[in-house]
Amino acid sequence: MATLLDIGLVQYFSVVFPFLFIVAVVYALLHKTKVVGDSVTFNAVISVVTAFAVVLSDSAVKLINFIIPWFAVVVVFLVLLLLVFQTMGLKEDQLPNVVKDKTVYWTLIGIAFVIIIAGFANVFGQSALEAQQSVGETTVTTTDGVTTTTPAFEQNIYAILFHPKILGMMILFTIAIFAVALLSAGPDK
């Protein structure tokens, strides 16, 4: 029975959003950098052709469909965070200085890097694991070391990330990062 909330037909339009996204991004990059000139028509044609080429790859469409919602969540979070800071007293003329701060800049680059790596792992992880394993190979799971071989990529990632040695290393790295950042900071004025 068809309901108002039935979104089964939406899956057939999952290529439209990546197409429009690629057209917009490539056009904006070409217009901003003026690599091929100032012609609006030429930039539009190149962006549409690039979008068609990208949409032909099923993996690229899956990657874009995974990454874009996460970037949207980050943007919404940042806008809400700026609203909270403005209610706490941050003035509008101070916003450009906040964005130019190296800590904020590198944090945003790190978040983008994590989202892109997660996207590649989600799209290509299981297929890369299956391509690596031979047909008659038996899977072995050991609990005494970090070595874990299972037929599921996601299960391998969880086993590695939540292994006690890896968690301990992450805690030590976090302590080291904060120690270096706090010890190398100049005196408060």
Q: Which of 9, 10, 23 is nearest to 55 (CA)?
A: 23
CA distance 9 to 18: 17
CA distance 164 to 176: 18
Pair 116, 60: CB distance under 8 Å: no
Residue 135: the pLDDT is 46
Q: Which of 146, 157, 74, 151 is nearest to 120 (CA)?
A: 157
Render pLDDT for 152-181 as a digit per residue (tens, 0 to 9): 767 777 777 777 888 889 899 989 988 888
Q: Which of 185, 114, 180 is nearest to 172 (CA)?
A: 180
CA distance 52 to 67: 19
Q: What angle do CA 40, 45, 46 make, to 5 degrees?
A: 100
Render pLDDT for 95-145 as a digit per residue (tens, 0 to 9): 888 778 788 888 889 899 999 988 888 887 766 666 666 544 545 555 555
Render pLDDT for 11-36 as a digit per residue (tens, 0 to 9): 677 788 889 999 999 999 999 998 88
Q: Determine which of 31-35, 61-65, 145-149 has the lowest per-residue pLDDT on average.
A: 145-149
Q: Which residues contact 16 (CB under 8 A, 6 or more apart)?
A: none
Residue 98: the pLDDT is 77
Q: The whole model's pTM is what?
A: 0.66
